[in-house]
A and B are shown apart, each in its own frame.
Chain A
């Protein structure tokens, strides 16, 4: 059974608007969450992360929100740019250096 779920396979957003990518998880033992971005023919690159003791982390145009009671996190990109068009993966881990558990990804298309 999937422990990290990205229920939207794709999302289209106009340039300059906000992109919101969502992720749900089932295991309350996860203590650290990450977002990765992946372009075709390249490996995933780390974007932003959040610890379970926080509810928000911001880095430039990217903000991740964590709602532990709902077991839900979201990535906000404001303003969206055409270069943000990529597949975004949500990932989670248990404590320590255990392997990440990935969602299936959401393909974001930012339209000029």
Chain B
């Protein structure tokens, strides 16, 4: 079974802090993705990566960056957290379809 692990289930941070969300997959997948899920808006793609050190912007990259130094790990970085980044963040990975998701990080920015 594919395992996608997100380091924190719940996280509370303050406005202006730099926030790191970590995601690790154990299936040697090339492709990894970061989404956020908000009520009434579904899943929106923030960034994705097809390989180590490669990154592509998704639909809503503003205020975020990513890092992929190793194939199994894809980090999402909030450079200066703001209250409108309070959300559920979901990481996914795949080789071929379907994407496999982690359990999510519920992030609150106060």
Contacts and interface: CB of A to CB of B under 8 A. Distances in A.
Contact of A43 (B40, B44, B50, B101): B101
Interface size class, chain B: 20 to 34
B40 A9 contact: yes
Contacts of A11: none
A32 interface: yes
Contacts of B12: none
Given A44-B90, A97-B31, A49 B97 contact: yes
Contacts of B96: 97
A34 B42 contact: no
Given A89-B43, A99-B48, A103-B42, A42 B103 contact: yes
B66 to A, nearest CB: 13
B33 interface: yes
A49 to B, nearest CB: 6
Interface string A28-57: 000010101000011111100100000000
Nearest to B10: A41
Interface of B: 4, 9, 30-31, 33, 35, 40-45, 48, 50, 58, 90, 92, 94, 96-104, 106
The 7 closest A-B pairs by CB, nearest first: A43-B101, A104-B42, A46-B98, A102-B43, A43-B103, A44-B101, A102-B42
Given A46-B98, A102-B44, 17 more contacts: A9-B40, A32-B97, A36-B98, A41-B103, A41-B104, A43-B101, A43-B104, A44-B43, A44-B90, A49-B98, A97-B31, A97-B97, A99-B48, A99-B58, A102-B42, A104-B40, A104-B41
